A and B are shown apart, each in its own frame.
Chain A
Amino acid sequence: MHGTRILDEADRLMTVCNSCRYCEGLCAVFPAMEMRRAFSDGDLNYLANLCHACGACYVDCQFSPPHEFNVNVPKTLAVARAESYAAYAWPRALSGVFARNGLVISVMAALSMAAFILGFAAAHERDVLFGVHTGPGAFYKLMPHNAMAALFGAAFLYAILALVMSVRTFWRDIGAPIGGRADGGSIFQAIRDAGELRYLHGGGVGCYNEDDRPTDRRKLYHHLTFYGFLLCFAATCVGTLYHYLLGREAPYPWWDLPVVLGTLGGIGLVVGPVGLFAAKMRRDSELLDEGRYGMDVGFIAMLCLTGITGLVLLALRETAAMGPLLALHLGAVFALFITMPYGKFVHGIYRFTALVRYAQERRQAG
């Protein structure tokens, strides 16, 4: 009756949950479910992306396995969520990328790009690659600023375009009124909910990981990752402004704003993903969508690689290793950009969109 088997199962579970409702205080999924009596594909994808996989409803459920009703909401919605990423991917032809091994694809993309940059530099002027460069403009000895800006600007714009197109389809499908826009209040509410990961707290005690004790630190690691990413992004933005507005060229001294932001962000991007990966390894397999392991790990690895190469580059930028390290760092960033619309990165975007929808529904319900 639904498009996929997992949506059939999600429908079955939501029917069970809707006749129980004990979990309505735990997160947004259940109150959103209660606003419906029947569930379309879009409704189920909406609920799946509202789920933050804290596991509380599984631990609290009297009907979770081995009970014959076999209610496992976190796992079912995790699978549905991952399938929804592919379903809404733009262009459609690339949706299959989600199904393949994300780790290998991302790492290959990063290394290919690094090799390309190295090759570019080597072909350009062999001595430059392993030379010691210091002072403003040192990085651009390896690759001219304009080439760098064009390459990364294009990759970034492509990622934004693909994400916008995907989210448009998702927004329409999850029951937003046709042509309906999100209002400012709902967006602000969603920013707050996403910013503090409100629904990863299992209703207050925290997230469940290896057993029925809420001892998980995933919220902390997730914050480190997310805000680390934002800080790195901010560093890049400030650097761009420096370049074009102030005419100041990278690399900047360690105390300067782009470097401070990038360093703090880089630390977050190393500690956060490592923590998330460790948590994933320890997590009760009953709560995990193990089929999507590669995609999750690929994203974690790319973030971590971006952070590590950035920090090492900062430490060794005045040595002969600068050239290869810069190539590697740029490769990682480039791969991160182009895989963004087809990897785990989108979970944040869809969750946020679902949170906007939820905030809107709450307002409409009064």
Chain B
Amino acid sequence: MSRKYDVLVIGGGNAALCAAIAARRGGASVVVLEGAPKFYRGGNTRHTRNMRCAHDAATEILTGPYTEEEFWKDLLLVTGGRTDEELARHMIRESKDILNWIVEQGVRWQPSLGGTLSLGRTNSFFLGGGRAMLNALYLTAEQLGVEIHYDAEVTDLVVEGGMFLAARLKRPIDGVNEIRATSLVAAAGGFEANIEWLKEYWGDAADNFLIRGTPYNRGSILKMLLAKGVQEIGDPTQCHAVAIDARAPKFDGGIITRHDSVVFGIVVNKHAERFYDEGEDIWPKRYAIWGRLVAAQPDQIAYIIFDTTVATSFMPTLFPPIAGATVAELAGKLELDPVALEKTVADFNAAVRPGTFDHTILDDCRTEGITPAKTHWARRIETPPYLAYPVRPGITFTYLGTRVNKEARMLMKGGRPSANMFAAGEIMAGNVLGKGYAAGIGMTIGSVFGRIAGREAAKHARN
């Protein structure tokens, strides 16, 4: 006969740990099942760096204020209105308190370094990054007496009429194959590492996607929950996708494979043709659109082409640029048609109109007479060596998820709330983020709904 816990948390990232800690602090006995081995614990949280929280005044870690209303407007902007207003506003309100609560759980924010790091107004940075944040949360959870198991893959959920009864395990834990609990918190992430599932929406193109985070986010818990009658939310084709270096590993390349050089050059596809206005918008919006743009190109590959004058204008990169003394030589190294690339660069150069370059604003350097236009930051590419980064779509996370209410309680098909199932983090991010992304919002969703889910799950268990 297996032991019965008050709260079972499936997952091991920010949302899961916030839920576990909140539930434990709420007096519940808590067990956490993390499907990954210890080193890879924490899903995508490992690769995060900051969190977006509303605040009414500046602090030692934030220039301020960033009001609830402004946060809401930013969210409305990136999602194009595809968000649940009630849930989103609730999250934004709670985010104010999370800024302090998370510190009480041992997480440290990075203070100003007096010049080398300019502090953000909207986002707080974890000292040491996401893994440091996770380490602190795990330490706190362990000290509170939360039971944590790694390599603990759940193969089935026993759910009856919207009520969770037990989770079945791939490998027994302490000789037990089934864990029963009064409440369930599902915080097991999205399905971005499940290429087969991605292919259902993207076709064979998904074979060329690189997954920026953990290979363990396969969406198995999400799939089980949807199969057990939980209402789904979010567009399954929507995901956070940026253009990352094509030489990056298939999984877990993390932050360091990104490129922010698009604005300084042009982007061509495998036919050496430009396909989108590289000067459309400023960071971070331009960052978040290029994954989808590259995914729509043949073979899901593209090349950022620039010249040596701008080679140090952006963050240093993990992989060095590919260089050629001439455009034709560069084309040869990229296995592009040299004649086609020379023509593309020449046409672009001829279309550039004089202006005053400033990459921090939408400046007046633009092209005339070519399609697509480069509407800002257009400067001739003419100083050898010519340089290029090959890029592919890098998937951060998916938006398909479980529908929840303000208590982070899952809603069943038909709208009835589940008796004892809660969800937090990426698995329910689609409630708030119908599309688009704003830096640090994934962590806000994780911490805020994690804490709510843990609190509510404990409350349910102790009733």
Contact = CB atoms under 8 A, between A and B. Distances in A.
Interface of A: 15-16, 18-26, 31, 34, 37, 56-57, 59-63, 66-69, 203-205, 212-213, 362, 365-366
Contact of B113 (A31, A63, A68, A204): A31
Top 4 closest A-B pairs, CB basis? A22-B129, A60-B128, A60-B132, A25-B110
A67 B39 CA distance: 9
A22 B128 contact: yes
**Chain B interface mostly:** loop
Contacts of B46: 62
A62 B128 CA distance: 10
B116 A22 contact: no
Interface stretch (B266-274, B311-319, B325-333): B311-319
Contact of A24 (B116, B254, B312): B116
B315 A19 contact: yes
Interface in B303-362: 312, 315-318
Contact of A25 (B47, B113, B115): B113
B115 A203 contact: no
Interface in B119-139: 125-132, 135, 139
Interface string B17-60: 00000000000000000000001000000110100000000000
A16 B318 contact: yes
Given A15-B316, A19-B317, A25-B111, A34 B116 contact: yes
A59 B113 contact: no
B115 A366 contact: yes
Contacts of A57: 128
A60 B129 contact: yes
B254 A203 contact: no
A23 B129 contact: yes
B282 interface: no
18 contacts: A16-B256, A16-B318, A20-B254, A21-B315, A22-B128, A22-B130, A23-B128, A24-B117, A25-B111, A25-B113, A31-B116, A59-B132, A62-B131, A67-B252, A69-B256, A205-B108, A365-B115, A366-B115
B61 to A, nearest CB: 10
Nearest to B116: A31
B370 interface: no
B255 interface: yes
B145 interface: no
Given A31-B113, A66-B39, A362-B115, A204 B47 contact: no
Given A15-B316, A25-B110, A63 B256 contact: yes
Contact of A203 (B47, B49, B108, B114): B108
A22 to B, nearest CB: 3
B249 interface: yes
Contacts of B255: 19-20, 22
Contact of A62 (B130, B139, B315): B130
A20 B255 CA distance: 6
B135 A60 contact: yes
B117 A25 contact: yes
Given A60-B132, A66-B39, A67-B252, A25 B125 contact: yes
Contacts of B132: 22, 56, 59-60, 203
Contact of A213 (B115, B139, B318): B139
Given A24-B116, A365-B115, A203 B318 contact: no
Given A62-B131, A62-B254, 4 more contacts: A16-B318, A22-B128, A63-B256, A204-B108
Nearest to A24: B117
Nearest to A203: B127
Nearest to B257: A19
Nearest to B252: A67
Contacts of A66: 39
Contacts of A37: 312, 316
Contacts of A26: 127-128
A134 B139 CA distance: 59
A323 B126 CA distance: 60
Nearest to B315: A19
Contacts of B318: 15-16, 19
A56 B128 contact: yes
A18 B135 contact: no
A78 B207 CA distance: 41
Nearest to A33: B316
Given A34-B116, A212-B135, A365-B116, A204 B127 contact: yes
Given A15-B316, A19-B315, A68-B249, A63 B116 contact: no
A31 B110 CA distance: 13
B116 A62 contact: no
B447 to A, nearest CB: 18
B46 to A, nearest CB: 5
Contacts of B315: 19, 21
A365 B110 CA distance: 20
Interface string B131-163: 110010001000000000000000000000000
Nearest to A23: B128
A269 to B, nearest CB: 34
B131 A18 contact: no
B443 to A, nearest CB: 14
A328 B381 CA distance: 74
A205 B136 CA distance: 10
A32 to B, nearest CB: 9
Contacts of B126: 22
Given A213-B139, A366-B115, A19 B316 contact: yes
Contacts of A21: 315
A28 to B, nearest CB: 10
Contacts of B135: 59-60, 212
Nearest to B114: A362
A61 to B, nearest CB: 7
B312 A203 contact: no
Nearest to B108: A204
Nearest to A71: B256
Contacts of B113: 24-25, 31
A365 to B, nearest CB: 6
Nearest to A17: B256
A210 B113 CA distance: 29
Contacts of B249: 68
Nearest to A208: B135
A62 B108 contact: no
Contacts of B127: 25-26, 203-204
Contacts of B317: 19
A25 B126 CA distance: 9
Nearest to A61: B131
Contacts of A68: 249, 252
Contacts of B117: 24-25, 31
Contacts of B111: 25
A203 B252 contact: no
B128 A203 contact: yes
Contacts of B39: 66-67
A67 B41 CA distance: 12
B311 to A, nearest CB: 9
A16 B253 CA distance: 11
Interface string B248-284: 0100101110000000000000000000000000000
A56 B270 CA distance: 43
Contacts of B115: 362, 365-366
